[in-house]
Structure formats: structure tokens, C-alpha cells
Structure 1
Amino acid sequence: MIEVKDLHKSFGDAHILKGISTTFDKGKTNLIIGQSGSGKTVFLKCLLGLFDYEKGSIAYDGKIFSKLSRDEKTELRSEIGMVFQGSALFDSMTIAENVMFPLQMFTKQSKSEMEDRADFVLKRVNLPDAHKKMPSEASGGMQKRVAIARAIVNNPKYLFCDEPNSGLDPRTSIVIDNLIQEITDEYQITTVINSHDMNSVMEIGEKIVFLKDGHKEWEGSKDTIFRTDNEAVTSFVYSSELFKKVRKMYLEENQ
């Protein structure tokens, strides 16, 4: 579990995060959503320890990040997996070498042990024969699966995903969503996803935090979001006619 209490973050005179408090549960897909400028990217970077913050706290399974020693912070970072928006694979490395990179950084495993682990996670993301390919030879969906394999290769307790479906077609996006949810459940990871994709919200949003102007405007699940009367949420989520129809059908079926 990740617990956030009264988090504030500013850049100069710009107050970006304004007292956010929430929890992200273990074994669930936790989504952060909101319009551009709502603070969700800054929030994610604070969770990752990339940004300091002026007030509040972030605790990872009871360990408050700001109170950890340098060595303890390094150990915590070894327990974090990250899927970047653009996959962020190293062009000069093979897919297998990309996947093994966190093992080289954070473990003392032998080369054969790292190769075995990379082989295991590549099979887990349905890429059993991609080891020797270069990232440039892989499609966008394949690159995203490689990024997920790299993120879980070190058996992380926490998995962060920044717009994992960015640039993907709808069918591939569903594949990636399902894969993230399966891995989260299978390994009981605390997964936090920064997303603008409403399909993801409706498919895998076990916990949803909606930010507006740096505040936590609403939180709930993919089921409760259908029933909320919060105007900011409904105007954001149901801006398209398709989702308006989906919501209407859901409410009619669950009266």
C-alpha cells in the first residue's frame, strides 16, 4: 500500500498539488486521471521520489519516504518498477539487454541468472522469441510489453505506469490494460497508473483518483464512477456520446 497525506508541491509561485490525501492498495490497479494541468504528472513524479514536496508525506507500506536514509531510499527504489509513456527502451541494446538492465543496477546476479529471469518475464508478457531483436524492430505494442517486462523483472512491490496506452491502437491498448491488471493481481503489486484513456478507466479502474486544479476532486472505482453526481467528474469522463450511452445503460441495468 502507498499512503499519501496532505501532499503539497509548488514550483515558484505556482501551487501545483494542494493537499492531496489518498491511498493506493496492494494488488489493485489504481488510476490517476484528470485534465491537462490538473497535477497528475507532478503527483506521479512525487510518488516516484523524483520531486521533493513542501508539505505532507508519502508512505510505502508504512515507511515514510522523506524519513528514509539514503541507503533506504536506494533499497526502496529497487522495489519500484516503471513503465514510461514512450517505453523508453535503449536503442543500442537488444530487447533482452533492456529487460536485464534493472538487474544489473540493483542485483548481484550472475549473467546466466539474469538471462534466465529475462527469459521468464519476456515469456510472461508473451514475447518468448524477442530476445535478440532491437527495439527498432518491435511494434509499439511489443515495445510496451518489453517495458512492462523490464518493470517487473526485479519483482517490484510497486509498479508505476505513465500513460501506458499512449500512441497505441484501441485493440493493443486493451491487451496492455489486461496484461497490467493480470500482473498486478498475480504478483500482488501496488500498481499506480497515470492515464487519460477512459477505456482503461472503465476496464481496469479498481481505484480511481480524479484530480482537478491540484486537488483530489473525487475518488472511487469504475463502478461508482457511473453513479457519481460530481459535475467535474461527469463532464470529464462523459464528454463523449459513447460514454454517455454506456453510463445510461449501466444505470438502467442497475436501478
Structure 2
Amino acid sequence: MIEIKNLHKSFKGETILDGIDATFDRGKTNMIIGASGSGKSVFLKNMLGLFKPDSGEIIYDNERLSEMDENRQKELRENMGMLFQHSALFDSMTVEENVMFPLRMFTKMRRKERQERANDILQRVNLENLNKKKPSEISGGQQKRVALARAVVNKPAYLFCDEPNSGLDPKTATVIDNLIQELTHEANITTVIISHDMNSVLEIGETIIFLKDGKIAWKGTNKEIFKTENEAVTDFVYSSELFRKVRIAQNKGL
């Protein structure tokens, strides 16, 4: 579990995060949504320790990030998985080598053990036959699955996903969503997802926070978001064609 208490962050006098309070539960897909400029990326970077908050606390399973020494912060980072918006695979490495990379960096496994673990997780994401391919030789959706495999191969306690469906077609995006949720449940991971994709919100938004102007304007689930009367939320989510259709169907009692 990750707890956020009264988090503030400003740059050059401009307030980006203005008193954020949130809880991200273990074993759930926790989503952060909001318009561009609402503070999502800065929020994520504070949780990752890339930015230092001006005030407030970030607490990982009862440990305050601000009180961790350098060694403990290093241990925490080793227990994190990160799925980047554009996959961020190493072009010079094969699929297998990309997935093995965190194991080589953060464990003392022998190469054979690393290969076995990498192949296990590649099989889990249905890519067992692409081990020796380079990223340039596989599709965008396959690259995203490789990136997800790399993010979870080290069996992290915390998984962060930054726009995991960026650039993917709806069918492939649903595959990625379902894989993230399945792996989260199976390994009891605390998963935090930044997304603009309202399809993802509908599919896997077990807990959702909506940011507006650096504040949490709404909290709930993918079921509750359809019922909210919060104008800021409805203006944002019903700009999606999918959500408009769902609201119309609900109003008709379908």
C-alpha cells in the first residue's frame, strides 16, 4: 500500500500539487486520471522519488520515503516495476535480454536462472516465441507486452504504469489492461496507473482519483464514476465517445 498525505509541490512559484491525500491499495489497479497539466506526471515522479515534495508524506507500507536513507531508498527502487509510456526497450538487446535486464541489475541470479525467469514471464504475456527478436522486429503491442514483462520480472511490490496504452489500437489496449490487472491480482502488487484512456478506466479502474489543478477533485471506482454529479469529472470523462454511449444506455435502462 502507498499512502499520500497532504502532498505539495511547486516549480518557480507555480503550484503543481496542492495538498494531495490518497491511498493506493495492494492487489488493486489504482488509476490517476485528469486533463493534461493537472499534475499527474509530477505526482508520479514524487512517488518514484524523482522529485522531492515541498511538504507532505509518501508512505510505502508504513515506511516514510522522507525518512529512508540512501540504502533503503535503493532497496525500495529495486522493489518497483515501471512500465513507460513508449515502452523504453533497449534496441540493441533481444526481447529476452530486455526482460532479463532488471534481474542482471538487481539480483545475483546466474544467467541460466535469469533466462528461466524471463522465459516464464514472457510465456505469461504470450510472447514465448519471440525471445531472440529485437524490439524493431515486433509490433507496438508486442513491445508493450515485453515492457510489461520486464516491469514485473523482478516480482516487484509496486508497479507504476505511465500511459500504458499510448499508441495502441483498442483491442491491443484491452489486452494490456487485462494483463496488468491479472498480474496485479496474482502477485498482490500495488499498481498505480496514469491514463487518459477512458476505455482503461471502464475496464480496470478498481480505484480512481481524478486530478484537477493539482488537487483531487473526485475519488471512486469505475462503477461510481458513471453516477457522479461532479461537473469537472463529467466534463472530462464524457468527452469520451465510449462513456457517452454508456451513459445513454444507462438512461434508457439497457
* TM-score category (smaller protein): over 0.9
**Is the contact made by 2:38 and 2:214 (CA closer than 8 Å) also made in structure 1?**
yes
Residues 1:242 and 1:102: Cα distance change in structure 2 (over 3 Å) = closer
Taking the aligned partners of 1:125 and 1:185, their CA distance within structure 2 comes to 15
Q: Displacement, 1:252?
A: 5.2
Structure 1 moving runs of 4+ over 3 Å: 250-254
SS in 1 for 2:156: coil
Taking the aligned partners of 1:232 and 1:179, their CA distance within structure 2 comes to 30
Residue identity matched to 1:152: V
**Is the contact made by 1:7 and 1:55 (CA closer than 8 Å) also made in structure 2?**
yes
Taking the aligned partners of 1:18 and 1:249, their CA distance within structure 2 comes to 37
- Partner residue, 1:105: 105
Q: Displacement, 1:204?
A: 0.4
Instruction: Compare 29-38 and 240-249 and name the one that shifted more.
Output: 240-249
Taking the aligned partners of 1:104 and 1:140, their CA distance within structure 2 comes to 25
Taking the aligned partners of 1:131 and 1:191, their CA distance within structure 2 comes to 26
Q: Does 1:172 pair with 2:190?
A: no
Taking the aligned partners of 1:61 and 1:250, their CA distance within structure 2 comes to 39
SS in 2 for 1:43: helix
- Partner residue, 1:141: 141
Q: Displacement, 1:50?
A: 1.0
- Partner residue, 1:40: 40
- Partner residue, 1:121: 121
Task: Give the alignment's Cα RMSD to 1 decimal.
Answer: 1.1
- Partner residue, 1:216: 216
Q: Displacement, 1:243?
A: 1.6
Taking the aligned partners of 1:253 and 1:56, their CA distance within structure 2 comes to 45
Taking the aligned partners of 2:251 and 2:29, their CA distance within structure 1 comes to 24
**Is the contact made by 1:227 and 1:251 (CA closer than 8 Å) also made in structure 2?**
no
5+ residue gaps in structure 1?
Answer: none
SS in 1 for 2:56: strand
**Is the contact made by 2:27 and 2:190 (CA closer than 8 Å) also made in structure 1?**
yes
Q: How many residues align?
A: 254
Matches within 5 A, 1:1-255: 1-250=1-250, 253=253
SS in 1 for 2:43: helix
Tell me the percent identity.
Answer: 63
Taking the aligned partners of 1:51 and 1:5, their CA distance within structure 2 comes to 16
